[in-house]
Structure 1
Amino acid sequence: MALASYADVSYYRDQYGGKMADEEAEKAIFTASRHIDSMTFNRIVGKGFDNLTEFQQDIIRHVVCKQADFEKENEPLINSILSSYSLNGVSMGINTNGWNVTIRNGVVMQADTYSMLEQTGLCCRRLGAV
């Protein structure tokens, strides 16, 4: 069984309102889907996307699109090995304990996006959850 994306380019463009070119969006959506798998401890893979409730599927599709855009817009910063840097008195950094991002299982996600994903009940760390 091949891994599938949890949203497609037509959903990304028509429902979500995404602006990436099709080929770029397809790749970003696939990567975001794998990151969602990490955030949900592969529960979607284990249960099967089609076996989730309609509510869970809708949330996951939307979160995948938001994550794809976030990762594309912040790609240089996310992929940097630096956690902060300073140049001519201007400094910038990723605050892993900040209010606007969450890092789980090595995936950086906006806190409000993660909160939305938590609504699916698939992010619980307990064994046997959902």
Structure 2
Amino acid sequence: MAYFPYATLSDYLGISDSRCIEQTKVASKLKQASRHIDSLTFGRINRYGFDNLTTFQKDIIREVTCRLADFEYENEDLIQSVLSSYSLNGVSMSIGNTWNVYTQNGVAISKDLYALLCQTGLCTGLAGV
């Protein structure tokens, strides 16, 4: 069974402010972001069916998919690092839940994007359509 991302190249070009992803890589990055959104929403989008969601929910999911693809592309090295923190000459850095990044089920997402995704009602234990 084929897996279709929640956003298309056309969506990406219309939504993304940075358009930092090369066009040849956009489809795979949107697919990866869609799978991560499935993790963040506990598979509810697949269970309910994307077409059965409200227009409001679909619009948010498309936007978050495009913006998450950009976030993951721009921060790929940091996200894929096996280190959770490091320190060098008195300067330290932590990876994980920080003031601007939220991690859940192994997925890192900016907190503003996660807050936007939560507006769909699909991220909590009491989600409904």
TM-score, with structure 2 as normaliser: 0.91
1:6 maps to which residue? 6
1:54 maps to which residue? 55
Residue 14 of structure 1, CA deviation: 2.5
1:90 maps to which residue? 91
Amino acid at match of 1:87: L
Counterpart CA distance in 1 for 2:99 and 2:88 is 24
Does the CA contact (< 8 Å) of 1:32 and 1:64 recur in 2? Answer: yes
1:32 maps to which residue? 33
**Alignment gaps of 5+ in structure 1:** none
TM alignment of 1:102-113, pairs within 5 A: 102-113=102-113
What's the secondary structure of 2:93's corresponding residue? Answer: strand
Does the CA contact (< 8 Å) of 2:100 and 2:111 recur in 1? Answer: yes
Residue 95 of structure 1, CA deviation: 4.4
Name the % identity.
54
1:45 maps to which residue? 46
2:99 maps to which residue? 99
Q: Which deviates more, 1-10 or 58-67? A: 1-10
Q: Which deviates more, 82-91 or 33-42? A: 82-91
Residue 26 of structure 1, CA deviation: 1.0
- The RMSD of aligned alpha carbons is 1.4
Residue 120 of structure 1, CA deviation: 0.2
Cα distance change of structure 1 residues 50 and 101 upon mapping to structure 2, 3 Å threshold: same
**Alignment gaps of 5+ in structure 2:** none
TM-score, with structure 1 as normaliser: 0.90
2:121 maps to which residue? 121
Cα distance change of structure 1 residues 46 and 95 upon mapping to structure 2, 3 Å threshold: closer
Amino acid at match of 1:122: L
Amino acid at match of 1:16: S
